[in-house]
Structure 1
Amino acid sequence: MARVISVEAERFPIAGTFTISRGSKTEAEVITCTIRQGSHIGRGECVPYKRYGESMDGVRDAIEAMSERIVGGLGRTALLDAMPAGAARNAIDCALWDLEAKISGTPVAKAIGAVPARTLETAYTLSLGEPEAMAAQARANAARPLLKVKIGGDNDIARIQAVRQAAPQSRIILDANEGWTDDNIVANLAFAAEQGIALIEQPLPAGSDAILRHIAHPVPICADESVHEAKDLETLVGLYDAVNIKLDKSGGLTAALTLRDRARDLGFGVMVGCMVGTSLAMAPAVLLAQDADFVDLDGPLLLARDRIPGLVYQGSLVSPPDTALWG
């Protein structure tokens, strides 16, 4: 039976403003790919990211350009060669996974060996701001066991100290989004270690991080912008201690599974993260993250409105997706 594919641009308001070192946003802009085959429907969501040269229109066009091949029966493995890694491939790949699960009756969790899928503890993200404002965010979320703190500026030591004092019991991930420099990274790392920080994400710009091979890592350092696919990993050995896997970077769950397994083989810690999207984008990542060292899948917690049905969050715990949502 022939497939039918459709693509839709959607926007979901963020609760307040979400700020990182590269700017602020007040809504999550997502692209949803839907593939129908008979009475079965598969869906996938992606979040175009300007940092990687993506736009809403560009990603939508890239998906639509694949329509004829998808309708003709293109599978996930062939998709890896047909499209580059990125948001567009992610939306199609996840829609195909969902469609396959609906047709076969085999849940994605079982297909990838993630059974029984368990509830995970996710980080909760605090936006970049002045130290006092970040302390207020931290104080309001101090009961959460894991906080991810956006930093990346000249005043980061004050920010780190303010957040740590406001949330003394929480484990903390710092995410600099490429905002540190060779001049301040050693001092920032040392202070982070003094404050008991658990992990630091992408302190330096991708491709300008050679110093990481020659300085101490008193806190483990995780690659984010520096890693997209499994082929990126070899060059990161000796620079980073962990990698952040995001479906929008890897180009879908299929490639992300390969990336995760190769990262483990090379001795990297594994974090599974997300862009700011809805539960539909998080659902496959929850299954990918079943054995992750760190989980950062709080996108829906940052939204004023999520999809219905969505993932079930209880505090910082996120449950595996119900098949009515995905998979």
Structure 2
Amino acid sequence: MESDRPPLIVTAAAERWPVNGSFVISRGAKTHVDVVVCTVSDGTHQGMGEATPIYYEGETAENCITAIEAFAPAHDRFNQQILLDDMQRGAARNALDCALWDLACKQTGQPLWQQASLPEPRALTSAFTISLSDPAQMEADARAAADTHSLLKLKLSGSDDHERVAAVHRGAPEARLIVDANESWNDLDIAAEARILAQWGVELIEQPVSAGRDDLLADVDSPIPLCADESCHTSADIAALAPYYQAVNIKLDKAGGLTESIKIADAAEQAGLKIMVGCMLSTSLAIRPAFALAQRAQWVDLDGPLLLAQDRKPAMQFAGGEVMLEA
């Protein structure tokens, strides 16, 4: 019986990981990332989960730890469903949820993909992010990345974007391209922007408009699929997004865990939307559950550890533009 099991022992701590150089998007530059690491123990086995606070939603490592420390004592015997029912979505819930999945793997000896009824893992092509900069720098960064990465993701700002995409294409003419507008195209003719970017082979446009203003995409005839990112948090969002987008970017931190992320994937597929699985800046501990879900995705963007000065051990393997489980 559930009540016969010992209470779960939960701890949470913040860690700071330096970025390799700086990571620049339209909202600003980051030189480090603060993550929350949660452990959940049954007294015999221990599971671990990592989450990155969503800074643009007001999350910090400190308030995530506070949320975990408030939830755990009030729910000493909890599971994924109780998390979904009783804890707000976000990075704190993601850290707990992923720790629970890891604990279940340790208890049963099963790998995560079997525990979560996901496809057996294979190596996946992952995007590599080209940070927002002037066109010349982005061209140089793309040229340097092209030797090892066949899929590049460009950060855009709503200004001089054509020049940036053209420059990246010059630097890496054989690379597949994704662009992330980071909500910066509210005042632009999005269909016209997409037609221009199509000449450089761009195959996906992430979050062209601000979250909550998705209706700006009504009747937009884009030759490139549009992908909801900041607008997509939970499975309940899919029905409202389906008229405006052709794909959704699922991030475990936004969704509040692997459990809800699987529900988003189910809802997206039922609505006829394609799936991208992305990440925040993070170590391999956070990428492992996202990688399990990414087996269902058409686009994968799990380069978070590659953007750090160093990664956690054991690390995911990144080679030849692909990401795979550690040996």
TM-score (norm 2): 0.95
Counterparts of residues 287-306 of structure 1 (less than 5 Å): 287-306=292-311
Residue 54 in structure 1 maps to residue 59 in structure 2 = yes
- The letter for the 1-side match of 2:68 is I
Q: Which residue of 1 aligns with 2:268?
A: 263
Cα distance in structure 1, aligned partners of 2:53 and 2:301: 18
Cα distance in structure 2, aligned partners of 1:215 and 1:76: 39
Please list the CA deviations of residues 149-185 of structure 1 after superposition, one character each: whole Å capped at 9, or x if unmatched: 1011311111111111111111000001111123343
Cα distance in structure 1, aligned partners of 2:99 and 2:188: 44
Cα deviation, residue 34, structure 1: 0.6
> Which residue, out of 138, 148, 153, partners 2:142?
138
Q: Which residue of 1 aligns with 2:215?
A: 210
Cα deviation, residue 320, structure 1: 2.6
Cα deviation, residue 107, structure 1: 1.8
Q: Which residue of 1 aligns with 2:3?
A: none
Query: Does the CA contact (< 8 Å) of 2:54 and 2:254 recur in 1?
Result: no
Residue 159 in structure 1 maps to residue 164 in structure 2 = yes
Query: Does the CA contact (< 8 Å) of 1:279 and 1:300 recur in 2?
Result: yes
Counterparts of residues 103-252 of structure 1 (less than 5 Å): 103-143=107-147, 144-252=149-257
Query: Does the CA contact (< 8 Å) of 1:274 and 1:297 recur in 2?
Result: yes
Cα distance in structure 2, aligned partners of 1:47 and 1:32: 9
Q: Which residue of 2 aligns with 1:315?
A: 320
Query: Does the CA contact (< 8 Å) of 2:68 and 2:96 recur in 1?
Result: yes
- The letter for the 2-side match of 1:177 is N
Residue 45 in structure 1 maps to residue 78 in structure 2 = no
Unaligned runs of 5+ in 1: 323-327
- Percent pairwise identity: 46
- The letter for the 2-side match of 1:96 is L
Q: Which residue of 2 aligns with 1:325?
A: none
Cα deviation, residue 186, structure 1: 3.3
Task: Evaluate the alpha carbon distance shift between residue 32 and residue 316 of structure 1 in structure 2; reply closer, same or farther with a 3 A threshold.
Answer: same
Greater shift in the superposed pair: 145-154 or 90-99:
145-154
SS of structure 2 residue aligned to 1:249: helix
Cα distance in structure 2, aligned partners of 1:64 and 1:252: 17
Cα deviation, residue 115, structure 1: 4.4
Residue 69 in structure 1 maps to residue 99 in structure 2 = no
Residue 12 in structure 1 maps to residue 14 in structure 2 = no
Query: Does the CA contact (< 8 Å) of 1:2 and 1:37 recur in 2?
Result: yes
Cα deviation, residue 36, structure 1: 1.5
Please list the CA deviations of residues 243-297 of structure 1 after superposition, one character each: whole Å capped at 9, or x if unmatched: 0000001100000001101100000010000000000010000000112100000
SS of structure 2 residue aligned to 1:191: helix
Task: Evaluate the alpha carbon distance shift between residue 167 and residue 152 of structure 1 in structure 2; reply closer, same or farther with a 3 A threshold.
Answer: same
Query: Does the CA contact (< 8 Å) of 1:62 and 1:88 recur in 2?
Result: yes
Greater shift in the superposed pair: 90-99 or 149-158:
149-158
Greater shift in the superposed pair: 228-237 or 188-197:
188-197
Query: Does the CA contact (< 8 Å) of 2:54 and 2:60 recur in 1?
Result: yes
Tell me how many residue pairs correspond in the alignment.
Answer: 321
Query: Does the CA contact (< 8 Å) of 1:287 and 1:320 recur in 2?
Result: no
Cα deviation, residue 39, structure 1: 2.5
- The letter for the 2-side match of 1:162 is A
Unaligned runs of 5+ in 2: 1-5
TM-score (norm 1): 0.95
SS of structure 1 residue aligned to 2:209: coil
Cα deviation, residue 3, structure 1: 2.2
SS of structure 1 residue aligned to 2:68: helix
